[in-house]
Amino acid sequence: MEKNPQPQAINAGKLFRHWLCAMKFRFTVAISGTASDFASFDAGYGVKTPIEIVCHISQLLQNCFSTIAGSPRVRLESKGWYEEAARFYEIVEQLGICIKC
């Protein structure tokens, strides 16, 4: 088998959209079937709770969106579990739409 001497060009937008879809899928799998008190699970030793982790990831994604869209960065305040999960999905959707522009 002959090796291709030229690496294929990577479509950054397509790769980023794929990454967003993978994050959305993995998040959905991770929270499916969790108990109502899952959001506040405390593993101890200073480990962040699930709601703190989701808020942090949403903040990172929001900062990414702000950078791409050229809008000002905002500080996200933690909400309830269902609101936090909904915000995660909303930001992922916004990023996906923004990347298509």
Query: Has this prediction a pTM greater than 0.85?
Result: no
Query: What's the first-to-final CA gap in the chain, in angstroms?
Result: 39
If you search the block for the tokens 């699970």, which residue do you land on?
41
Measuring CA to CA, how many Å separate 29 from each of 3, 20, 44?
A: 38, 14, 24
**Tokens 């959905």 correspond to what residue?**
28
User: Quick one: tokens of 13?
Assistant: 């937008």
pLDDT digits (tens, 9 = 90+) for 50-98: 999 999 999 999 999 999 989 999 999 988 999 999 999 999 999 999 8
pLDDT in tens, 11-20: 888 899 999 9
Token pair in block for residue 36: 């109502």
Residue 23 has pLDDT above 80, yes or no: yes
User: 2 pLDDT band (50/70/90 cuts)?
Assistant: low
